[in-house]
A = this chain, B = another copy of it.
């Protein structure tokens, strides 16, 4: 079974068309069957037929006030100087009553008007009196037009009127209108049942991983969790299958079982063309393989197919049981979902959501879009539609889309993404500054309240994000801090281009021994800047527990038995290393591993923890986080560089306030290697 199938990516449109044609041929390209659902269970679901009013609302002429029902024609002579007396007479019959009698009947709000009445006077505008015959009566001092303070029959809805059309997703007020027009239940599209089958001998459940830990090679299976939540959000009923090992028969058995009582099968993964990728073979063995490979990244090793079903058990209503008899398809669609988590989630958006939408009579979801400017060049794979995850923020008057790491295995990139930018096929990418359309994952309101921090990375920025997320619960102005790590110099360059609100920076000036000031003057000469002291922190060698190679001084960087891991160009930590080893006359060529670059302190620590490197320069907190040892070498200052207009903006106010907040300072000071005694000090640097 080794590489029998050649995976050839076809364009997304062609893949969709092939799937659509097969669904149509199987009678599955239309909404699902319907079911009658009590109103109390109908919220958020979709009507399968128009609903017409069975009753009028109100279904009688109702008083709209507490007061008295009258005949308007009796009141014509009433005025301030000529009060009129009306006799209380609930059981008034115009055919038999004294022709001179002017009747009035007490009514409360919502009460029906007597048949003879056509208007209502408010109780506040009456006085209780006695009429000429000693009967209870009221006195009024103004005439009333007919239909005053009356809710006429059908004012809201008239029987037979259209209350709601088909294909309408029910909101709370819709339930009220349905009930008010005489319905206790409503005809909805049945919710599709979706089987989600994770396959892979290397997979372990999140529960087992949390309880027993992981061995190298084991992977936590969470795609089924993500797909199930997507399916639920899109109106389906997910069934998560237990993990199936990488074995043809086991997978085939699971798919055959799922096809018995599900509308759609998501098989994850084994959709590529590796030695243990059985999905295509299983689909071929049980039905038709329509598509193997779609030219979209992430997500290209998608499989689309149809599983044939011969005999389905008969109807019952239980969730796990066979489908109702009004659903008799000969085939069940199957989607082979790629294994990388970003690919899996995007396959859900691209193929599963539109199908579930169609099955409840809806067009595919249209995300909100926002016009933005790309901040970095994106190189794209020609021939593929490329879906670039971006962070989005509004800096000044410009909306910026900053591309995030593109690895299909990096689920955190999707968590951080504010939206997607599509680079179409036959394009080789897009340059920085290109106008793009972002398909948003967040609301425009969230985007407006996003603070973009692009520059040097520090753990305390996570803490700041965390405190910001907890602050301001009372206001609609809660801020979100999004930070991207491009190193200290990269941050200043980003500020110069006007593409961030602030940058973290810890750049040592070898001439002055000062941090940041000379760099800000050099890189941002035309901007007024507030340089805000954030934290002081230790830098030193991050080493394995026990410091087995005995690192102690800067010169150890050049030892022949030491393999270093370095930071990327422009990182303040790299500037510090270059400065200190340079003073000793050591050149990069003398340092083994100088060229291996990582982008964060934690990544440096991870390289040391894994044994891939003997040491790297970094902060104490990163060493501590991965239970490594630390050899302190220097003390440095980490500042926030903030252009004056943002420093003074409402947007940044909650962030700047936190720098004077004891709870935040205490939390930072509790991190090893940090001091906060200068936190919040501001130096204003005018334009040059």
Complex contact A206–B39 (CB within 8 A): yes
Tell me the A135-181 residues at the B interface (CB within 8 Å).
Answer: 146-147, 151-168, 171-177, 179-180
Further contacts, 9 of them, CB under 8 A, given A167-B470, A177-B412, A363-B472: A60-B610, A110-B202, A115-B611, A155-B407, A158-B602, A173-B345, A176-B345, A182-B210, A184-B207
Interface residue? A328 (CB, 8 A)? no
Asked whether A443 and B361 contact (CB < 8 A) given A154-B603, A225-B176, A272-B109, the answer is: no
Is the contact region of chain A dominated by helix, strand, or loop, or is it mixed? loop
A341 adjacent to chain B (CB < 8 Å): yes
* CB-based contact B226/A445 at 8 Å: no
For A410, give its contact among B155, B160, B227, B415 (CB under 8 Å).
B155
Q: Which of A594-633 contact B (CB under 8 A)?
A: 596, 600, 602-603, 605-607, 609-612, 625-626
What are some 9 contacts across the A-B interface (CB < 8 A)? A43-B232, A66-B274, A151-B407, A158-B626, A166-B466, A173-B341, A173-B414, A176-B225, A184-B209
| Partner-binding segment picked from A423-431, A473-481, A529-537 | A473-481
CB closest chain-B residue, reference A165:
B469
In the complex, the answer to whether A606 meets B40 with C-beta atoms within 8 Å is no
CB distance from A195 to the nearest CB of B (A): 15
CA distance A222 to B55 in the complex (A): 14
Which B residue sits closest to A47, measured CB to CB? B469
Contact A415 B164 (CB under 8 A): yes
Q: Which of A212-220, A379-387, A391-399 contacts B (4 or more CB under 8 A)?
A: A212-220
CB <8 Å contact, B162 and A462:
yes
| Residue-wise interface mask of A (446-463) relative to B, using a CB-CB cutoff of 8 A (1 in contact, 0 not) | 000000000000010011
A281 touches B (CB below 8 Å): no
Complex alpha-carbon distance, A43 and B230, angstroms: 9
Kindly state whether residue A275 has any CB partner on chain B within 8 Å: yes
In the assembled complex, the Cα of A30 lies from the Cα of B471 at a distance in Å of 11
Minimal Cβ-Cβ distance residue in B for A116: B611
Most B C-beta atoms less than 10 A away, residue of A172, A413, A600, A603: A172
Q: Establish whether residues A612 and B206, one from each chain, have CB atoms under 8 Å apart when the complex forms.
A: no
Instruction: Report the Cα distance A174→B412, complex, angstroms.
Output: 8
Contact A43 B233 (CB under 8 A): yes
B residues near A108, Cβ cutoff 8 Å: 274-276
With A167-B470, A610-B60, A625-B158 known to touch, is A175 a contact of B222 (CB < 8 Å)? yes
Q: Are A226 and B152 CB-contacts (below 8 A) given A217-B60, A596-B147? A: no
Whole-angstrom distance from the CB of A279 to the nearest CB of chain B? 14
**A220 near B179: Cβ-Cβ < 8 Å:** yes
A248 CB → nearest B CB, Å: 16
A118 at the interface (CB under 8 A from B): yes
Chain A residues numbered 116-146 whose CB sits less than 8 Å from any CB in chain B? 118, 146
B220 and A180 within 8 A (CB): yes
Contact A469 B345 (CB under 8 A): no
* Docked-complex contact A603 and B158, CB < 8 angstroms: yes
In the bound complex, residues from chain B placing their C-beta under 8 Å from that of A634 are: none
Name the interface residues of A242-282: CB closer than 8 Å to any CB of B: 272, 274-276
0/1 interface trace, chain A 560-587, chain B, CB 8 Å (1 if under) = 0000000000000000000000000000
Pairwise interchain contact B625-A159, C-beta atoms closer than 8 A: yes
With A222-B180, A411-B180 known to touch, is A625 a contact of B160 (CB < 8 Å)? Answer: yes
A411 to chain B, nearest CB (A): 5
- A125, B219: Cα distance in complex, Å: 27
Asked if A206 and B179 make an inter-chain contact with CB atoms under 8 angstroms apart, the answer reads yes
Q: Is A39 a contact of B176 with CB atoms below 8 Å?
A: no
Cross-chain contact A217 with B152 (CB below 8 angstroms): no
CA of A441 to CA of B171 in the docked complex: distance in angstroms?
10
Report yes or no: A465 in contact with B30, Cβ–Cβ below 8 A. no
Q: Which residues of B contact A55 (CB under 8 A)?
A: 209, 214, 220
Residues of B within 8 A of A177 (CB): 411-412, 415
Chain B residues with CB under 8 Å of A38's CB are 207
A606 with B152: CB separation less than 8 A = yes
Residue A409 interfacial (CB < 8 Å): yes
Q: A167-B470, A445-B366, A612-B61 are in contact. Are A219 and B176 (CB under 8 A)?
A: no
A602 nearest in chain B by CB position: B158
Q: Which residue of B lies closest to A42 (CB)?
A: B229
Distance of A211 from chain B, by nearest CB (Å) = 8
Q: Give the chain B neighbours of A166 by CB distance below 8 A.
A: 466, 469-470
Chain B proximity of A36: nearest CB distance (Å) = 12
Pair B469/A172 contact, Cβ less than 8 Å: no
Task: State the CA gap A469–B169 with chains docked (Å).
Answer: 11
Residue of B nearest to A205 (CB): B184
B66 x A341 contact (CB < 8 A)? no
A490 within 8 A of partner (CB): no
Is A103 part of the binding interface, using a Cβ–Cβ cutoff of 8 Å? no
Residue A299 is within 8 A (CB to CB) of chain B in the complex = no
In the assembled complex, A296 has its CB within 8 A of some CB on chain B? no
B469 near A216: Cβ-Cβ < 8 Å? no
Partner of A240, one of B40, B43, B156, B364: B40
A59 at the interface (CB under 8 A from B): yes
Tell me, in angstroms, the Cα distance from A112 to B443 when the chains sit together: 40
Asked if residues B415 and A610 are in contact (CB atoms below 8 Å), the reply is no
Tell me which residues from 366 to 423 in chain A have a Cβ below 8 Å from any Cβ of chain B.
Answer: 366, 368, 407, 409-415
Nearest CB of B to A297, in Å:
14
Asked whether any CB of chain B lies closer than 8 Å to the CB of A557, the reply is: no
